[in-house]
C-alpha cells in the first residue's frame, strides 16, 4: 500500500511525521535558550513581542548538501518591518535566512552600495603628524547613518532585537514551532509576522540522496547509489552523450502547511497572526490570499506581487472592508529606501497597539 503523503494527513499527523523525519537543527537548543531568556525579559516588562520571519528557505537535494533549491527573497520586507516594529515599542525576534538582510545593517549591505562607499579617509590632524587620518563616514551620509546607528544601538543596548538564522526549510519549521511555543507566556502580547518565503516543495529525508549527486557514470564498484537509487532523483541517461552525462529529474513533495498548527496549536491564545502571500499573476493574488485566510482562520493576509511588492500590498482581513490596498505614492517610490514597509510596518504596529484598522494611502 502506498504511504499517504503529508498533504493527505490531518495537520497534527503531518506534524508528527514531518518532525520525526528530520533531525532538529544543531543550533536549535542554543536558539531556544536565547529566545527563552529574551521572552522572559519582555514578559516581565509587559512588552509586546513580534516574531518576524524573513528571507527564503532552501531545499537541499542531498543530505550532505552540495546543491539546493533557493528562492528570490532578500529579506527586505522582514528586515525593514522589524525596524518599524522596534520603533513602535515591540521587542523583535528576527528569524531570518542566514546572510539575508538584517534590520539597520540592511541600509549599508550588499543590496545597496558596498559599505566602503560610505567611508572616507579624513586628513591627519596636525597633532598626530601622521599620514594615517581616521576613517570617517562621508559627509553626505552622516545624517542618515547617525540616525540608523542610534536606533541600532538603542535596540541592542536594551535587548530588543534577537537575531536567529535558518537556512533550510526544515530548519525554519523547527525554529518556528519552538519559538511559537516559547512565546506562549506572552499571550495577547505576541504577534507573528510571517514574511519569509517558505518553499512549497521539498524532498523528504527518506528519499534524499546521501552524497553529492553524480552527473556522470561511475565504475560499478564506486557507484554506491545505483543499488539504492532514490525514487525522486532520477539520473537517467542523456541522449546526446549516452555514455557520460546523466539527466537529473527531481520529484518534489509538497511541504506541509503548518500555518494551521501555528494558529490552532503552537501560538499563544489571543496572539495575532499575520501571513504574507506572494504571487506573480495579478488575477490570482486576492483569491489566493482570501483562501489562505479562510483556510487558516488567522487575522490578516498581506498579499503582494513579485513585480510591485515594494510599492503596493493588499490587506485581506476577516472583517470589513475585507480587501484594502496600500500604496506608496509614485512620487515617493524612488526616494523611499524601503518602499511599502514604511506603510505596512507602521500600519501593522498601529493596528496591534490601538486596535484600529490600518489606513491605506
Ligand atoms: O524578502 P523580500 O523583501 O525580497 O520579499 C518579501 C516577500 C515577497 C518574500 C514577502 O513579502 C512575502 O510575500 N512572503 C510570503 C511568500 C509566500 O510564501 O507566498
Q: Over range 205-234, report the average pLDDT.
A: 75
Q: Within this chain, do residues 326 and 348 fall inside the same structural domain, yes or no?
A: yes
Q: Over range 324-334, report the average pLDDT.
A: 89
Number of domains the chain is built from: 2
**What are the grid coordinates assigned to 321, written together?**
472592508
- pLDDT for 114: 85
Residue 259 near ligand 1, beta carbon < 6 Å? no
Distance between Cα 358 and ligand 1 center (Å): 20
Q: Within this chain, do residues 82 and 228 fall inside the same structural domain, yes or no?
A: no
User: What is residue 1's three-state secondary structure?
Assistant: coil
Residue 73 near ligand 1, beta carbon < 6 Å? yes
* 340 or 311, higher pLDDT: 311
Q: Over range 277-290, report the average pLDDT.
A: 98
Confidence of residue 228 (pLDDT cuts 50, 70, 90): very low
Residue 287 has pLDDT above 70, yes or no: yes
Over residues 91-137, the pLDDT tens digits come to: 999 999 999 999 999 999 865 568 888 999 998 876 656 678 899 99
Helices (H), the chain: 11-21, 28-44, 76-87, 139-157, 169-182, 259-261, 282-296, 330-333, 341-354
- pLDDT for 225: 61
Residue 346 has pLDDT above 50, yes or no: no
Residue 95 near ligand 1, beta carbon < 6 Å? no
Over residues 309-324, the pLDDT tens digits come to: 999 999 999 999 999 9
Q: Are 100 and 197 in contact (CB under 8 A)?
A: no
Q: Is position 149 within any domain?
A: no
Q: How many residues does the chain have?
A: 361
Residue 197 near ligand 1, beta carbon < 6 Å? yes
Residue 263 near ligand 1, beta carbon < 6 Å? no
Confidence of residue 356 (pLDDT cuts 50, 70, 90): very low
- Residue 296 CA to residue 304 CA, distance in Å, equals 18
Q: Within this chain, do residues 230 and 326 fall inside the same structural domain, yes or no?
A: no
ipTM for the complex? Answer: 0.99
Q: Within this chain, do residues 225 and 287 fall inside the same structural domain, yes or no?
A: no
Q: Is position 15 within any domain?
A: yes
User: What is residue 13's three-state secondary structure?
Assistant: helix
Q: Are 72 and 306 in contact (CB under 8 A)?
A: yes
**What are the grid coordinates assigned to 27, written together?**
543550533
- Residue owning the nearest CA to atom 1 of ligand 1: 75
Over residues 2-32, the pLDDT tens digits come to: 566 777 788 888 899 999 998 999 999 999 9
Q: Are 230 and 209 in contact (CB under 8 A)?
A: yes
Q: Within this chain, do residues 193 and 61 fall inside the same structural domain, yes or no?
A: yes
Q: Is position 132 within any domain?
A: no
Q: Is position 133 within any domain?
A: no
- Residue owning the nearest CA to atom 13 of ligand 1: 278
Looking at 197, 227, 247, the residue that finishes a domain is: 247
- pLDDT for 138: 94
Our mutation pick for probing the ligand 1 site, out of 276, 286, 289, 302, counting the most ligand atoms within 8 A of Cβ, is 276
Q: Are 256 and 18 in contact (CB under 8 A)?
A: yes
Q: How far apart are the first and last CA of the chain?
A: 56
**What are the grid coordinates assigned to 55, written together?**
528571507
Q: Which range in 158-162, 212-216, 329-333 is most confidently predicted, on average pLDDT? A: 158-162
Q: Taking CA 282 as the corner, what is the angle to CA 278 and CA 286, rounded to the nearest 5 degrees?
A: 65
Q: Are 103 and 155 in contact (CB under 8 A)?
A: yes
Pairing of strands 119-121, 135-137: antiparallel
Burial of 255 from C-beta contacts in 10 A (0-12 / 13-18 / 19+): buried
Q: Over range 271-276, report the average pLDDT.
A: 98
- pLDDT for 241: 52
**What are the grid coordinates assigned to 17, written together?**
511525521
> Scanning the structure block, which residue is given the C-alpha cell 538582510?
101
Q: Over range 180-203, report the average pLDDT.
A: 98
Q: Is position 139 within any domain?
A: no
- Residue 243 CA to residue 309 CA, distance in Å, equals 47
Q: Are 59 and 169 in contact (CB under 8 A)?
A: yes
Confidence of residue 358 (pLDDT cuts 50, 70, 90): very low
Residue 152 has pLDDT above 50, yes or no: yes
Q: Within this chain, do residues 35 and 166 fall inside the same structural domain, yes or no?
A: yes
- pLDDT for 348: 44
> In degrees rounded to 5, what are phi and psi of residue 133?
-75, 160
Q: Is position 153 within any domain?
A: no
Angle between helix 76-87 and 341-354 (nearest 10): 40
- pLDDT for 220: 80
Distance between Cα 241 and ligand 1 center (Å): 40
Q: Within this chain, do residues 278 and 238 fall inside the same structural domain, yes or no?
A: no
Where is average pLDDT lowest: 133-147, 201-215, 243-257?
A: 243-257
User: What is residue 226's three-state secondary structure?
Assistant: helix
Where is average pLDDT lowest: 115-119, 184-188, 351-355?
A: 351-355
Q: What percent of the chain is modeled with pLDDT above 70?
A: 83
Q: Is position 225 within any domain?
A: yes
Residue 90 has pLDDT above 50, yes or no: yes
Q: Within this chain, do residues 238 and 275 fall inside the same structural domain, yes or no?
A: no
Nearest by Cα to 266 from 189, 195, 194, 176:
176
- Residue 356 CA to residue 348 CA, distance in Å, equals 10
- Residue 44 CA to residue 339 CA, distance in Å, equals 34
Q: Are 199 and 58 in contact (CB under 8 A)?
A: yes
Q: Within this chain, do residues 232 and 315 fall inside the same structural domain, yes or no?
A: no
What is the Cα 106 distance to its own chain's centre? Answer: 15
Q: Within this chain, do residues 100 and 11 fall inside the same structural domain, yes or no?
A: yes
Pairing of strands 312-316, 323-327: antiparallel
Domain that holds residue 242: 214-247
Q: Within this chain, do residues 101 and 239 fall inside the same structural domain, yes or no?
A: no
- pLDDT for 359: 30
Nearest by Cα to 4 from 259, 253, 258:
253
Q: Which range in 69-73, 234-238, 335-339 is most confidently predicted, on average pLDDT? A: 69-73
Residue 304 near ligand 1, beta carbon < 6 Å? yes
Q: Is position 311 within any domain?
A: yes
Over residues 49-78, the pLDDT tens digits come to: 999 999 999 999 999 999 999 999 999 999
Q: Within this chain, do residues 171 and 315 fall inside the same structural domain, yes or no?
A: yes
Query: What CATH number has the domain bearing residue 298?
Result: 3.40.50.10300
Amino acid at each position: 500500500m502506498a504511504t499517504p503523503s503529508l498533504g493527505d494527513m490531518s495537520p497534527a499527523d503531518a506534524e508528527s511525521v514531518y518532525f520525526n523525519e528530520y533531525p532538529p537543527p544543531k543550533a536549535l537548543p542554543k536558539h531556544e535558550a536565547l529566545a527563552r531568556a529574551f521572552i522572559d525579559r519582555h514578559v516581565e516588562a509587559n512588552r509586546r513581542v513580534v516574531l518576524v520571519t524573513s528571507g527564503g528557505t532552501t531545499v537541499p537535494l542531498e543530505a550532505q548538501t552540495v546543491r539546493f533549491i533557493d528562492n528570490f527573497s532578500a529579506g527586505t520586507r522582514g528586515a525593514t518591518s522589524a525596524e518599524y516594529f522596534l520603533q513602535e515599542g515591540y521587542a523583535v525576534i528576527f528569524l531570518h535566512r542566514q546572510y539575508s538582510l538584517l534590520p539597520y545593517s540592511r541600509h549599508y549591505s550588499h543590496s545597496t552600495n558596498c559599505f566602503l562607499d560610505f567611508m572616507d579617509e579624513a586628513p591627519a590632524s596636525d597633532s598626530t603628524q601622521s599620514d594615517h587620518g581616521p576613517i570617517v563616514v562621508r559627509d553626505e551620509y552622516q545624517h542618515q547613518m547617525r540616525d540608523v546607528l542610534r536606533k541600532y544601538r538603542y535596540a541592542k543596548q536594551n535587548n530588543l532585537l534577537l537575531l536567529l538564522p535558518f537556512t533550510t526549510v526544515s530548519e525554519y519549521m523547527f525554529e518556528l514551532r519552538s519559538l511559537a511555543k516559547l512565546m506562549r507566556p506572552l499571550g495577547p502580547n505576541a504577534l507573528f509576522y510571517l514574511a519569509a518565503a517558505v518553499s512549497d516543495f521539498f524532498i523528504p529525508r527518506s528519499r534524499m540522496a546521501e552524497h553529492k549527486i553524480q552527473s556522470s557514470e561511475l565504475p560499478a564498484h564506486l557507484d554506491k547509489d545505483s543499488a539504492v537509487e532514490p525514487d525522486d532523483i532520477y539520473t537517467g541517461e542523456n541522449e546526446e552523450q549516452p555514455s557520460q552525462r546523466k539527466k537529473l529529474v527531481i520529484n518534489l513533495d509538497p511541504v506541509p502547511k503548518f500555518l494551521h498548527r501555528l494558529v490552532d496549536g503552537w501560538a499563544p491564545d489571543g496572539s495575532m497572526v499575520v501571513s504574507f502571500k506572494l504571487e506573480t499573476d495579478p488575477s490570482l493574488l486576492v483569491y489566493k490570499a482570501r483562501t489562505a485566510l479562510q483556510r487558516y482562520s488567522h487575522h490578516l493576509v498581506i498579499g503582494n506581487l513579485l513585480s510591485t511588492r515594494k510599492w503596493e500590498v493588499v490587506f485581506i482581513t476577516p472583517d470589513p472592508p475585507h480587501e484594502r490596498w496600500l500604496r506608496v505614492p509614485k512620487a515617493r517610490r524612488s526616494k523611499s529606501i524601503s518602499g511599502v514597509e514604511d506603510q505596512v510596518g507602521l500600519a501593522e504596529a498601529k493596528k496591534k497597539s490601538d486596535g484600529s484598522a490600518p489606513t491605506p494611502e
